[in-house]
């Protein structure tokens, strides 16, 4: 269990990590997008009308699934994130009501962080040495009141083919163990087992690991480690042109990180390097139970101007 | 313009309005849902697999539309609502980066109110004398940390037939004037003009008025008055069994309110009396431009436990 | 220990407690202030220049004590209260600095509740059946954006005689046990032991119990029970004309409540019935160590318009 | 009026200002405190018991003054700062009360920024190239959840001699004009006029300019420019050993800045270079009316762990 400890320490230490001098990482990186110098949406460019139309044919039963888990003040979150909702009744103190019909109403306040629970990571989330997707520089865009570029409001409507890869089923377990990396071999084995012929441009790929079973039962384990995508697997999916990658875990990527991996290197591969959105804490359990391996996936993240992330609830339809 | 003033005063006074004694409103009301004593989702019960499957056939081109407008600290909102997003860089003060790849990241905080901009009103939003949809009592469910029933997390996946009614087109104007009520005559005229044969159970009906053109240009007018649904029209749609009604306005209903109407009586008809969700500030301009009168409508509101409302961005697909 | 459990349940249940019909409590209450119909400051009216001048003579050494404990996200608080501070660097992302001198700066956000840690309860905090100090009605003053009367901004400057009563010393213990009530006998015994001749109009009386020793060590115990002021003691102090009563506990009053006491009845006696401010979580340990029984007490609470409480840090000077 | 415009632009541009290469500012600076390598309180070290005792003799009438102005959502603030208070009634929805006495209560939430209205700037507020008072480095202390050093909780109790310098009176005006700098000549002239013999170690010096008259009347002018302390004056006061400098303005220092001054250079002189706290938006009008030039000044800022600033309300006593 020393890996867990090591990673726990790593996460805790993230804020304190000093810059190592002279690595080649930033220098080697070609930050330019293949979609042109103005592009802010990466592989979501593959979300063409043709793609959406073709994906809509996957709807054969009409059954809908909501992929967003509930989120509240008890949802484990990456420190120091938290979120609270407060329900209030403006103007109704002491039992007052409004007008002849005695109207009453509740309103709600939200305070805390966007990055809690089921969320999409926009391209403003992760950078390499303060350079983000398509060479946008943090110095230029990282305004405290909202990103000047790559904000979550730029995410286009996502209506495309979704695929769930049942990694627990593949491995014959109820819940995949933390530290288990999903790379090309695992991805292709899962596809083969499920009869999925190929992954195509604009697809959304979701991994099912069973990890959400820990939520509310062992939040500490849930939020410190996890099975997930490895670096090779991330590159493989990015090269296939997927628009987004998600999982039923808080980080999508394997933790403890792979040997010699940089912290959150899979995030780095997907977001700034490849223009692939990340979807975290996605509940695909019912899809897996129904063996609904391929489906129509729709997502419209709330459009806070300049926000980095959004709390989401995609709808899958079979 | 005296209507505007009257309504402005009315809105401002809402919190102070005293209870008028002895109105029959609450007493007359049969709060029981036709969907049984446990029901929390109203007409969303009509969102069957058959309905979703049939609606999916409306996708003929694959073109997607995001209906959520952007939301930020400048978005006009019903007082005292506001919302802010703050973008921060944890652990990166003084230019620090993380690990050998010099990872950098933005995170975001959200503070304020849910009911700002594009939103869905859940059934916990409006009650009559503290009784809400399906007889749930505010005294039992109105907890400050989250509604005990009727919270936004209960909203099922919405994937159904959407209809946009072009009221501006019907009336031959660019933007429908405030105080213009949409009732049966107007709704049926719009349907006839657009060749929409009928409204069916589980549909989502959106009104296009052109009102969003005011946003950022005359926020005061935008947020104090509007054209919108009248009482008769609301009852008509509710009886048709629609799952939700929306518009490109902040309240969906006509303001100044109709003669003799109680404050927000259309909200009252739709939410507690009929179990119909309300979708506010929905941008349907492009749908109207494309004459995409009928379409596949999908919405998964973020699932804050016990929240009253959610900021949304539904996806319409033609 | 069953009392503890009972009270724990009681506190948890507070929000759910139903109204008992027909008690005489509200009816019997004479809510009028002796200081006239406009008064909002209660016994703080006794804070005259003469009083302040006389109290200033208690400064004989010039030693200052800060009575406010630190407050942060770990400070135990009455549910659902919490508070967080977030330190940010606007405009300095990616290591940017400002101007030729390379100015850098931190700013801080605060989110949560006022009633956390060291605090003053204003007269808008506690009412009897929605009537507050001096007959101000909640229906009239309880605006969601700030109290219309009795807000914390009305608290006058407090510069007066302070007294600390060493209840732990009196009882020969390091920390007084929860459920121990301080009534007339205990108060007078403590005064006698410490050589305090009398309590006078406009005084601030603080109880030392040693209870703060639990903070960070047994927060659950700290925040669910405590030794403190009983009803008879509260009436006694109020009749003496004290301006404020405080303690090194979260509620100042004894919990479990005294036999037959209503929930937070000591709060009720002090605030609405007597116009006496309450000062919670006051650290008087060093005063007690120094046997600085009488001192000059100064407090200027931050003046948020219409706020109910304020987080404070009074200065005692010997 | 071109100065106003220039400064408005300057303030707006602060976040965008690029680093000028090669200035000598940081290099020349000797960041070490004269109070030793562990010191976090600067000239507050002069707040000895002797100093406090002597200052207490200034109390000759017993009249108290609160120096904190009210603060609320309308208080002008340096962008993007804002603050809101929300008053709520937990557990009392639909007119519920608690227990046999029908207890009711208000609580309050606070959301926004600390640096609004009457405030103390701690030494973690301003740095030079990410080095703060006494050489504490931002990289080490600037944690997002609270400063590791120099947090507002470290401010000692302040009970000392206060002086108000009536600059409006000196200049024979009701309100000193923006851009008017207070340097040695002005300070000494004001002292002479008021019969103040000298400024001593540990004193708190407050400037009265009349500027608060603009509040709520011309907030734009109030918050974009101001008369105030110049660089020479700041150095003079720092050398005298004052513990804090304040004014009835939002920044204490003259704006437009003096010719050739760096942005907020007076802040820089006082905080990191000299260990002198800054007190902003201090209302000294009544002190001036009473010609209470010298007084006993007390301040205990609320002690949020690691906070940068605190909203305050010092008490002056004559």
What HEC string does chain A produce?
CHHHHHHHHHHHHHHHCCCCCCCCHHHHCCCCCCCCCCCCCHHHHHCCHHHHHHHHCCCCCCCEEECECCECCCCCCCCCCCEEEEEECCCCHHHCCECCCCEEECEEEEEEECCCCCEEECCCCEEECCECHHHCEHHHHCCCCCCCCCCHHHCCCEEEEEEEEEHHHHHCCCCCCCCCEECHHHHHHHHHHHCCCCCCCCCEEEEECCHHHHCCCCHHHHHHCECEECHHHHHHHHHHCCCEEEECCCCCECECCCCCCCCCHHHHHHCCCCCCEEEECECCHHHHHCCCCEEEEEECCCCECCCCEEECCCEEEC
In this predicted model, which residue has the larger pLDDT, D48 or B14?
Answer: D48
| CB proximity C15 to A under 8 Å | no
Cα separation, C197 vs C234, whole angstroms = 19
From the list B80, B92, B109, the residue facing C144 with the nearest CB is: B80
What angle do helix axes C231-240 and C184-194 make, rounded to 10 degrees?
60
Residues A278-285: what's their mean pLDDT?
A: 98
Task: Give per-residue pLDDT as tens, C278-306.
Answer: 999 999 999 999 999 999 999 999 999 99
CB contact under 8 A, B94 and C104: yes
Which two tokens mark C187? 């108060």
From the list A80, A95, A145, the residue facing D94 with the nearest CB is: A95
Cα separation, C142 vs B216, whole angstroms = 32
CB contact under 8 A, A139 and C88: no
pLDDT at B28: 73
CB contact under 8 A, D109 and A95: no
State the average pLDDT for chain A: 93
With contact defined as 3+ CB pairs under 8 Å, the chains touching A are B, C, D
Give chain B positions within 8 Å (CB) of C79: 145
| CB proximity D109 to A under 8 Å | yes
Task: Give per-residue pLDDT as tens, A130-143.
Answer: 999 999 999 999 99
CB contact under 8 A, B109 and C104: no
Please check whether residue B248 is in contact with residue B211, taking contact to mean a CB–CB distance below 8 angstroms. yes
CA quadruple A154, A159, A161, A165: dihedral positive or negative? Answer: positive
Give chain C positions within 8 Å (CB) of B111: 109, 111
Residue with tokens 């959304």: A204
With contact defined as 3+ CB pairs under 8 Å, the chains touching D are A, B, C
Burial of C174 (0-12, 13-18, 19+ CB in 10 A): exposed
Burial of A253 (0-12, 13-18, 19+ CB in 10 A): buried
What are the phi and psi torsion angles at C110 (to 5°)? -130, 130
DSSP assignment of D200-238, as one string?
-TT-EEEEE-SGGGGTTT-HHHHHH-B-EE-HHHHHHHH
Cα separation, A223 vs A214, whole angstroms = 9
Task: Give per-residue pLDDT as tens, B100-136.
Answer: 999 999 999 999 999 999 999 999 999 999 999 999 9
Searching chain D, which residue's CA lies closest to the CA of residue A139?
D16
Q: Residue B27 pLDDT more than 70?
A: no
Task: Give per-residue pLDDT as tens, B208-256.
Answer: 999 999 999 999 999 999 999 999 999 999 999 999 999 999 999 999 9
CB contact under 8 A, B109 and C86: yes
Which two tokens mark C238? 């109020």
CA distance C67 to chain D (A): 9
With contact defined as 3+ CB pairs under 8 Å, the chains touching C are A, B, D
| CB proximity D80 to B under 8 Å | yes
Q: Residue A17 pLDDT more than 80?
A: no
CA D273 from centroid of its chain's CA atoms: 16
Name, in order, each residue with C-beta under 8 angstroms of B41's C-beta and a sequence gap of 6 or more. Answer: B35, B123, B154, B155, B156, B275
CB contact under 8 A, B303 and A70: yes
Give residue C5's pLDDT band: very low, low, confident or very high (50, 70, 90).
very low
Residues D297-309: what's their mean pLDDT?
A: 98
Give chain D positions within 8 Å (CB) of A95: 94-95
Task: Give per-residue pLDDT as tens, C172-209.
Answer: 999 999 999 999 999 999 999 999 999 999 999 999 99
Nearest to B258 by CA among B179, B184, B186: B179
Which two tokens mark A66? 């909501």
Searching chain D, which residue's CA lies closest to the CA of residue B140?
D93
User: What is the predicted ipTM?
Assistant: 0.93
What HEC string does chain C produce?
CHHHHHHHHHHHHHHHCCCCCCCCHHHHCCCCCCCCCCCCCHHHHHCCHHHHHHHHCCCCCCCEEECECCECCCCCCCCCCCEEEEEECCCCHHHCCECCCCEEECEEEEEEECCCCCEEECCCCEEECCECHHHCEHHHHCCCCCCCCCCHHHCCCEEEEEEEEEHHHHHCCCCCCCCCEECHHHHHHHHHHHCCCCCCCCCEEEEECCHHHHCCCCHHHHHHCECEECHHHHHHHHHHCCCEEEECCCCCECECCCCCCCCCHHHHHHCCCCCCEEEECECCHHHHHCCCCEEEEEECCCCECCCCEEECCCEEEC
> What is the SS3 assignment for B190?
helix
Cα separation, A268 vs A123, whole angstroms = 10
> What is the SS3 assignment for D288?
helix
| CB proximity C144 to A under 8 Å | yes
Cα separation, B187 vs B171, whole angstroms = 12
CA distance D172 to chain C (A): 30
Task: Give per-residue pLDDT as tens, B256-267.
Answer: 999 999 999 999
Which residues face D126 on adjacent strands? C105
CA C57 from centroid of its chain's CA atoms: 25
Give chain A positions within 8 Å (CB) of B309: 107-108
Please check whether residue D66 is in contact with residue C157, taking contact to mean a CB–CB distance below 8 angstroms. yes
Which two tokens mark A86? 């407060």
CB contact under 8 A, D130 and B96: no
Which two tokens mark D19? 């680093």
Give residue A309's pLDDT band: very low, low, confident or very high (50, 70, 90).
very high
Query: What torsion, rounded to 10 degrees, do the Cα atoms A267, A269, A270, A273 define?
Result: 130
Residues C90-103: what's their mean pLDDT?
A: 97
Cα separation, C123 vs C268, whole angstroms = 10
Give chain B positions within 8 Å (CB) of C88: 86, 88
CB contact under 8 A, D94 and B142: yes
CB contact under 8 A, C298 and D302: no
Nearest to B192 by CA among B202, B200, B184: B184
Please check whether residue A239 is in contact with residue A273, taking contact to mean a CB–CB distance below 8 angstroms. no
CA distance A32 to chain C (A): 20
CB contact under 8 A, D144 and A95: no
| CB proximity D275 to C under 8 Å | no
CB contact under 8 A, A298 and B315: yes
Range of weakest confidence among B272-281, D23-32, D76-85:
D23-32
Q: Residue C29 pLDDT more than 50?
A: yes
Cα separation, A91 vs C13, whole angstroms = 25
CA distance C14 to chain B (A): 11
Residues A207, A262, A129: CA angle, nearest 5 degrees: 110
pLDDT at B18: 35
Residues D172-191: what's their mean pLDDT?
A: 98
Which two tokens mark A265? 């290197």
Q: Residue A26 pLDDT more than 60?
A: no
Task: Give per-residue pLDDT as tens, D10-47.
Answer: 333 333 333 333 344 444 789 999 999 999 999 999 99
Give chain D positions within 8 Å (CB) of C110: 83, 110-114, 304, 307
Give chain B positions within 8 Å (CB) of C89: 89, 93
Q: Residue C3 pLDDT more than 60?
A: no
H helical segments located in C172-260 = 184-194, 219-224, 231-240
Cα separation, B300 vs B277, whole angstroms = 13
Searching chain A, which residue's CA lies closest to the CA of residue C140?
A93
Which residues face D131 on adjacent strands? D128, D137
Cα separation, C202 vs C200, whole angstroms = 6
CB contact under 8 A, D65 and C157: yes
What are the phi and psi torsion angles at A117 (to 5°)? 70, -145
Nearest to B145 by CA among C13, A72, D54: A72
State the average pLDDT for chain D: 93
Give chain B positions within 8 Å (CB) of C143: 15
Range of weakest confidence among A163-177, B172-186, D19-33:
D19-33
Residues 179-208 of B with CB under 8 A from A: none
Searching chain C, which residue's CA lies closest to the CA of residue A93?
C139
Give chain A positions within 8 Å (CB) of D104: 94
Task: Give per-residue pLDDT as tens, C106-143.
Answer: 999 999 999 999 999 999 999 999 999 999 999 999 99
Phi/psi zone of residue D243: left (φ > 0), alpha (ψ -120 to 50 degrees), beta?
A: alpha
């Amino acid at each position: 269990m020393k890996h867990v400890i090591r990673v726990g320490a790593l996460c805790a230490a993230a804020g304190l990590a000093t810059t190592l001098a002279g690595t080649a990482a930033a220098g080697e990186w070609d930050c330019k997008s293949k979609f042109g110098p103005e592009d802010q949406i990466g592989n979501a460019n593959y979300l063409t009308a043709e793609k959406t139309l073709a994906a809509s044919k996957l709807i054969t039963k009409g059954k809908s699934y909501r992929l967003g888990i509930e989120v509240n003040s008890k949802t484990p979150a990456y420190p120091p994130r938290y979120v609270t909702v407060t329900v209030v009744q403006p103007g109704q103190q002491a039992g007052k009501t409004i007008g002849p019909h005695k109207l009453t109403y509740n309103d709600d306040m939200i305070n805390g962080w966007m990055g809690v629970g089921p969320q999409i990571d926009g391209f403003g989330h992760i950078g390499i040495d303060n350079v983000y997707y398509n060479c946008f520089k943090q110095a230029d865009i990282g305004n405290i009141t909202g990103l000047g570029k790559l904000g979550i409001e730029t995410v286009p409507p996502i209506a495309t083919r979704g695929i769930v890869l049942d990694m627990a089923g593949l491995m014959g377990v109820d819940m995949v163990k933390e530290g288990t990396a999903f790379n090309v071999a695992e991805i292709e084995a899962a596809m083969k087992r499920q009869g999925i012929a190929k992954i195509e441009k604009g697809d959304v790929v979701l991994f099912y690991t069973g990890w959400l079973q820990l939520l509310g039962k062992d939040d500490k384990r849930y939020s410190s480690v996890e099975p997930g995508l490895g670096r090779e697997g991330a590159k493989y999916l990015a090269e296939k042109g997927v628009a987004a990658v998600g999982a039923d875990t808080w980080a999508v990527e394997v933790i403890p990180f792979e040997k010699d991996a940089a912290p959150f290197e899979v995030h780095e591969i997907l977001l700034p390097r490849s223009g692939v959105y990340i979807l975290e804490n996605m509940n695909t359990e019912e899809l897996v139970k129904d063996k609904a391996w391929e489906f129509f996936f729709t997502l419209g993240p709330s459009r806070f101007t300049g926000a980095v992330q959004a709390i989401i609830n995609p709808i899958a339809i079979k």
